[in-house]
Amino acid sequence: MARIRHFSDTQPALFDADEAPAAPPGPDGRTKQPSYIRDHRARLRDRFLVGGAEALPDYELLELLLFRAIPRQDVKPLARLLLDRFGDFNGVVSAPLPRLEEVSGVGRAVITELKIVQAAAQRLAQARVLRKPVVSSWDALLDYCQTAMAHDDIEQFRVLFLDRKNVLIADEPQARGTVDHVPVYPREVVKRALELNATALILVHNHPSGDPTPSQADIEMTAQIQRAADSLGIMLHDHLVIGKSRELSFRAEGLL
């Protein structure tokens, strides 16, 4: 994940003063949340608790997420602005930090809430596949790869290490690159497999362009890793290329 450069400690205002006049301070000197915002938030929380996420469109689910980051302002305009910019809820929480910083009204508090949700989603998805046989959890594995990599704005390369029963024993990022290239060293991949006592591998990398069609460089790199793995008795099961909405399997395409 890219590093956050610098943020003001003060959350930028979403409205001009004449659009959202400040509420008078309470007895303790703190600004109170306007009643219409308080009531709206209460209704939205109730609907979520009763009907779950399915009861809310993306912009309202995003509002719930923004409530903690912006406690005393109407967050609906920001929710809609984020969705206009990034497409859907998943696109918003997965958006790269530099692009989030460009959105008016998004400061450190908002980015923190978004990235907590993204990290939680990745941990939950990973928990469904780690220490489980990949054959019986293949769909969950694909879902995890999509969650972890589909919206990244630079290429990353991961290796899934399996034991003799094809149980996933480790999932490790090996390298991060640029928007269209990531350096991969076959020797390091097989060396790590030996350290983990892995007997099989699944390679995974993403295409930020959204198109999972493998490049010639992808095909050549895969062949190099396969030769290195074969020489040590390690099976290369597949190489998955993750696009924005779908993935491509080297095995299914006859490339392995």
Q: What is the DSSP string of 106-157?
A: --HHHHHHHHHHHHHHHHHHHHTTTTSBTTTTHHHHHHHHHHHHTT-SS-EE
Identify the helix (H) or strand (E) that includes residue 226.
helix 216-230
Q: Give the whole-angstrom CA distance, residue 127 versus residue 49.
A: 25
pLDDT value at 161 more than 60? yes
| Dihedral over alpha carbons 163, 166, 169, 170 (to 10 degrees) | 110
| Per-residue pLDDT reduced to its tens digit, 184-202 | 788 899 999 999 999 999 9
At residue 114, φ and ψ (nearest 5 deg) are -65, -45
pTM of the model: 0.69
First to last CA, the chain: 31
| Per-residue pLDDT reduced to its tens digit, 41-62 | 888 888 888 888 888 889 899 9
Can you give the pLDDT at residue 30? Answer: 52
pLDDT value at 22 more than 90? no
Better-predicted residue by pLDDT, 132 or 85: 85
Q: Give the whole-angstrom CA distance, residue 28 versus residue 123.
A: 40
